[in-house]
Structure 1
Amino acid sequence: MTIGEAAAASGVSAKMIRHYETVGLLRPHRAANGYRVYADADIAVLRFIRHARDLGFPLEKVRRLLALWRDRNRSSAEVKRLALSHVEALEAKAASLRAMAASLRQLAEHCHGDERPECPILDELEKAP
C-alpha cells in the first residue's frame, strides 16, 4: 500500500510516517520506482508507535518498546520497568503543571481585570527567574 493508504490505515500522518522512517523506527520496502510500499506488518508497527506516543512515551522509549515487542524472548520485567518509569515521569510532569496552574490562578486572582493598566500577571512575568 502507498504512504497515503498506510496513513489512513494506521491513523499516523504521512509526514510522521516519513519521520519515523528517518529516525529508524520503520523500514518499509521500496519498489523499483523508489516509492515506499507498506505491508500489514508496517501498519501494525505504525499503530504500535501511535499508541505508545498517545501514552506520552518519548521516541527513545518507543524505540526500546518496539525492540521488546519484536523480541519474543523478552522479559516482561523490562517492559514493566519502562512503563513504571514513564508513569513516574508523567506524574512529575502533572505535579509541575498543577503548580504552574496554581501560580497563575493566584496571579489572576490579584489582577483587577478592568481598564486599569496595573496587572500583577505581567509584573510577575517581567521578573527574571
Structure 2
Amino acid sequence: MRIGEAAAAAGMTPKALRFYEQQGLLPPAARSANGYRDYPPATLARLRFIRRGRAAGLTLAEIRDILRTRDAGQPPCAHVADRLARQLTALDRQIAELTALRATVAEHYETAAHGEPSRCDAQQICSYL
C-alpha cells in the first residue's frame, strides 16, 4: 500500500511515516517502479504499536528497542513491563510534584485574593509571593 493509504489506515500523516522510517522504527519501504513507497500490510500493526507506545509516554528510542527485540525473534513482554513500571513511577513522582505545586499556588492565590494592595511592602516587590 502507498504511503498515503498506510498513513490514513494508521491515523497518521505521510510525514510521520517518513519520519519513523528515518528513525529506524519502520524498515525501509520497497519502492514501486515509479518510486512510490510500497508498504506491506504488516506495517499497520507496527504503526499502531508505535502510536500505543507514544500514548503510554514511551520515547522513540524505547519503542525502537522494543521493536528491535521483536524483530530479533524475542518476545519483548518483560522489557515492556519493566519500561511501563518505570513510566508509572515517573508519573507518580510528577503527580506528587504537581499536587504540591498546586497547593503552593492555591495558598498564594488565597493570600492574593484577600489581600490589600495598599498594605504591600514595596521592599518585598509583592507580598503575595
Measured against the shorter chain, the TM-score band is 0.7 to 0.9
Any conservation in 2 of the 1:11–1:50 contact (CA below 8 Å)? no
Larger Rg belongs to:
2
Partner Cα distance (1:50, 1:32) in 2: 30
Partner Cα distance (2:99, 2:9) in 1: 37
Percent identity of paired positions between Structure 1 and Structure 2:
37
Tell me which residue corresponds to 1:16: 16
Could you list the runs of 5+ residues in structure 2 that have no partner in the other structure?
A: 121-125
Tell me which residue corresponds to 2:30: 29
How many residues of Structure 1 are paired with residues of Structure 2 in the alignment?
Answer: 121
Distance 1:8 1:93, change over 3 A: same
Partner Cα distance (1:110, 1:74) in 2: 56
Partner Cα distance (1:36, 1:42) in 2: 12
1:85 Cα offset (Å): 1.7
1:75 Cα offset (Å): 6.1
Partner Cα distance (1:107, 1:86) in 2: 31
Partner Cα distance (2:30, 2:107) in 1: 55
Any conservation in 2 of the 1:2–1:38 contact (CA below 8 Å)? yes
1:46 Cα offset (Å): 0.5
- Note the 1:1-129 alignment, pairs <5 A: 1-27=1-27, 28-74=29-75, 76-112=77-113
CA RMSD of aligned residues (A): 3.0
Q: TM-score, normalised by structure 1?
A: 0.73
Could you list the runs of 5+ residues in structure 1 that have no partner in the other structure?
A: none
Q: TM-score, normalised by structure 2?
A: 0.73
Amino acid at match of 1:65: I
